[in-house]
Amino acid sequence: MLVRDAMSSVILTIGPAHTLRQAARLMSARRVGSAVVLDPDTCGLGILTERDILNAIGDGMNPDEEAAHAHTTTDVVFAAPEWTLEEAAAAMVRGGFRHLIVLDDQAPVGVVSVRDIIGCWTRGRVQVTAEQAAIV
């Protein structure tokens, strides 16, 4: 199975000036664990994850004042839609992260998460109730 089969093609994109609270609200509303941070000034892509927000708040930072750019990972490892799920999982393990931005022709086309990969690997093998799936 390929990354294109598992990825979410609906991408939450935010700007670098969004506050952590704004990012958290958007991520919660979309039920996603990451946001792609698009910085038009640098033409760069980064990723802000739920863990980045959690770490900032745990360090005593104010989520209403902290901007996303200060907590964005900019040295991102990107996946290609043609990668296998095994390749994506290996990249996640090597990098110690749970989300990959998927690029096609240098443009983001999706995000694949550990949850997406596990869901594909277990689909059909294990009967998962809707309540259990909501926990993943």
Q: Say what the pTM is.
A: 0.83
Closest to 87 (Cα-Cα) out of 109, 72, 102: 102
Using alpha carbons only, what angle is made at residue 58 by residues 24 and 27, rounded to the nearest 5 degrees? 10
What is the full per-residue pLDDT of the chain (136 aa) written as tens digits?
A: 999 999 998 899 999 999 999 999 999 999 999 999 998 887 689 999 999 999 999 999 999 999 999 999 988 889 999 999 999 999 999 999 999 999 998 889 999 999 999 999 987 565 555 565 555 5
Q: For 79-104, give the DSSP string.
A: E-TTSBHHHHHHHHHHHT-SEEEEEE
Give me the domains of the chain, ranges plus CATH numbers: 3-135 (3.10.580.10)
